[in-house]
Amino acid sequence: MQVTWPLAMATALVLACTGATGLANDASQADGGTLAETLTPLKGGKAPNSYESMWRGFDPRAEPLEIETLHEWQEDGVLLRLVRFRIGVFKGRKAKLAAVYGFPKGGSNLPGLVQIHGGGQYADYKACLLNAKRGYATVSIAWAGRISAPDYIVNPAVVKLFWDGKTDDPNYRVTTDWGAVDGYHAPGRNPGNVFPSAKTAPWTLDPVESPRNSGWFLCAVAARRALTFLERQPEVDEDRLGVYGHSMGGKLTVLTAPDPRVKAAAPSCGGISDRYNRSPLFRQTLGDDVSLKQITCPIIFLSPANDFHGRIGDLPKSIADIKSKQWRVTCSPHHNHQDTPPYEVATLLWFDHHLKNRFVTPKTPATQLTLRTDDGVPTLSVQADSSMPILSVDVYYTQHGKPDEQPSDMTNTRHRFWHFAKPTHANGLWTARLPRLHTDKPLWVYANVTYKLAESVTGAGYYYGTYNATSLNLSSLLTMVSPGQLRSAGVNTEATPTTLIEGFEDDWQKEWFTYRPEVWSRSTNKLYDDRYQAPPGATLHLEVRAEQKNKLVVRLDGFVAECRLNGGNEWQTVELSLNDFQDINGNTLTDWRRVKQLTLSASERLRPNRGDNRKPRVVGGVWRGAPPQFRNLRWVTNGIE
């Protein structure tokens, strides 16, 4: 790594040129006079009540950028900069956005990407670095003020130093300055700031409830200014810009994608489900469906099937909302707000397709659900694009879906269990049977097609960890069927309880999940399904074979049991009662039927509740030898299975 100039010198230069000493001495007044407002003041105190009126009068190209370079360095042939540029003028004061910007040194005519972090996250140099190695210029925007880069860390404590103007503190760093308004998040500068709210407050733009008061709107303005920053960089092709983000960044991606300069978008875990705000004004201006209806660019949605923030049940509505005919979805089963490489890589390949013309994304799998069958068991037929080598076609279905899920349904959303159905292949179609159904619950079903990539792809994931993908997953759109449709079709009811939770045969891992595929531990939501719930008086049994002596940890939600394994070639039976499971406070589990998730692992970290200063408790330890083998995870009552 080569630093162009010392960090202290760079910061001092910025302070000297701008007069910035934190928010107490705002740089916007350095040039004197009255600055023109970015957004037209309200007329007659009436707030915007539509998408068009909310954005009316805003031109993201109109104002000067006034770019400052805070820090610059090179790494692996990539030029990286910490920059800050003007967002706009609000209530007479400038707002400035800090960001990490990176591109391959010597590059020209590059496609450009705006990367938007999620709630609690940072603008991070790793996204810029790894994207640059694939031929992109990327700006990672610090809309919440937090930054992660070599020699330039801005955590919440440092953001507060900036707010307080403590330039003499050795940890002080220049960062995003929202001026007279508050677009920060986790925490906001003002303790009473509820980020999504459109209600009026001393730090908001409008004196009445207005979408322009919401942090969503302010940060979307910042993201559109980041597009202006990108298109004006000499190494960037202004006609090839994309935007992507995770979680809150997913919603901000959807708010930014209607900008006509955006040629491709990839929101993950957000941007589809914010439709239920209590404020009618919020819903008709900042609701996800409002912006989705303006999107004409190619867009891919990364929507894990158990995500609490971008709920898969809202995905069909979102596809119906957008104007673009070029869309894809990728939905990892069982995952909540995280993904693994075959799903994460969809973002980069989507940009390769639409900004570089160096990849062609296979078509969305076409599916046909047949409810009326000879034996009363529905089937799903899948037609997969065979333009790339197909590794697998998998079908997933659940009866835990709700017709109109709300944010209050989070427990069900996070823990719904997806059954795996293995399809048979004949005459170009993959067909899977969907047995064991209730007819008093809805049926949700979709298909995943996994493709082999011609070459591996390396990128920065949702939380900036480096991933290496050798395959790509694309999903069909979710099909949802009501209980009335199941009954009228004569669907056969087979959902009888079973004491066998898992036999660990064939494709058993399809109904389990992990965010770290390289480690053997796995989790499942099977116990949330009434078919697998414990009978009264049951104990939990599992047979294990481990090469060496080890500790196996069985976790049920926040309760853990530690099991000593003898090692060797013999199968060992582990028997666990409710009293064997303890939480971080030493409380024992009282009811099997309250359990939602089961995990088998080498170690587990139990974390205290928010606000509790105790250290986490680690149970288990480092695993020795080959991964364990399992069989017959089951309930036993009075010796009867």
CA 638 to chain centre: 45
| Residue 25 predicted with pLDDT over 90 | no
User: Which of these CATH numbers, 3.10.20, 3.40.50, 3.40.1350, 1.10.287, describes 2-297?
Assistant: 3.40.50
| Residue 64 predicted with pLDDT over 90 | yes
Residues 6+ apart with CB under 8 A from 622: 602, 603
Q: Return the pLDDT at 446.
A: 98
Secondary-structure class of domain 497-641 per CATH: mainly beta
| Residue 97 predicted with pLDDT over 90 | yes
Q: Return the pLDDT at 16.
A: 37
**Over the stretch 409-438, which tens digit does the pLDDT of each residue have?**
999 999 999 999 999 999 999 999 999 899
Task: State percent of the chain over pLDDT 70.
Answer: 95
The DSSP bridge partners found for residue 93 are 90
Secondary structure class of 219 (helix, strand, coil)? helix
| Residue 14 predicted with pLDDT over 80 | no
| Residue 75 predicted with pLDDT over 90 | yes
Secondary structure class of 486 (helix, strand, coil)? helix
**Over the stretch 79-90, which tens digit does the pLDDT of each residue have?**
999 999 999 999
**Over the stretch 281-290, which tens digit does the pLDDT of each residue have?**
999 999 999 9
Residues 300, 347 contacting (CB under 8 angstroms): yes
Report the pLDDT averaged over residues 5-23: 41
Identify residue 405 by its one-letter amino acid code: E
Q: Return the pLDDT at 33.
A: 64
Q: Residues in the chain, how many? A: 641
For 43, phi then psi, to 5°, come to: -100, 120
Q: Return the pLDDT at 638.
A: 81
Whole-angstrom distance, CA of residue 357 vs CA of residue 341: 22
The DSSP bridge partners found for residue 599 are 523, 555
The DSSP bridge partners found for residue 43 are 46
Q: Return the pLDDT at 245.
A: 98
Map tokens 């709700």 to a residue: 402
Report the pLDDT averaged over residues 329-343: 98
Whole-angstrom distance, CA of residue 486 vs CA of residue 404: 18
Q: Return the pLDDT at 610.
A: 79
Residues 6+ apart with CB under 8 A from 138: 101, 102, 103, 112, 113, 114, 115, 127, 128, 131, 132
The pair of structure tokens assigned to 224 is: 């559109």
**Over the stretch 478-535, which tens digit does the pLDDT of each residue have?**
999 999 999 999 998 877 899 999 999 999 999 999 999 999 999 999 999 999 999 9
Q: How far is CA 565 from CA 485, 562, 568, 601, in A?
A: 49, 10, 9, 13
Q: Return the pLDDT at 18.
A: 40
Q: Which pLDDT band holds residue 31 (cuts at 50, 70, 90)? A: very low
Q: pTM of the full predicted structure?
A: 0.94
Q: How far is CA 258 from CA 87, 223, 243, 262, 299, in A?
A: 18, 12, 11, 7, 11
H or E element at residue 131: helix 125-132
Report the pLDDT averaged over residues 355-367: 98
| Residue 387 predicted with pLDDT over 60 | yes
**Max intra-chain CA distance, the chain:** 85
Whole-angstrom distance, CA of residue 319 vs CA of residue 429: 24
Q: Return the pLDDT at 495.
A: 75
Whole-angstrom distance, CA of residue 249 vs CA of residue 508: 34
Average pLDDT, the chain: 94
Domain limits, the chain: 2-297, 497-641
**Over the stretch 129-169, which tens digit does the pLDDT of each residue have?**
999 999 999 999 999 999 999 999 999 999 999 999 999 99
Q: Return the pLDDT at 432.
A: 98
Whole-angstrom distance, CA of residue 223 vs CA of residue 85: 12
Angle at 575 between CA 569 and CA 578, to 5 degrees: 150
Task: State percent of the chain over pLDDT 90.
Answer: 90
Strand stretches in 355-389, DSSP E:
366-370, 379-383
Helical H runs in 257-312? 280-283, 288-292
DSSP 280: H
**Beta-sheet pairing, 137-141 with 93-104:** antiparallel
Whole-angstrom distance, CA of residue 233 vs CA of residue 109: 10
Residues 86, 95 contacting (CB under 8 angstroms): yes
- What is the crossing angle of helices 215-231 and 248-256, to 10°? 60
Secondary structure class of 507 (helix, strand, coil)? coil
H or E element at residue 9: helix 7-18
Secondary structure class of 448 (helix, strand, coil)? strand
**Over the stretch 186-221, which tens digit does the pLDDT of each residue have?**
999 999 999 999 999 999 999 999 999 999 999 999
* Sign of the dihedral defined by the CA atoms of residues 104, 107, 113, 114, in that order: positive
Q: Return the pLDDT at 13.
A: 41
For 317, phi then psi, to 5°, come to: -65, -40
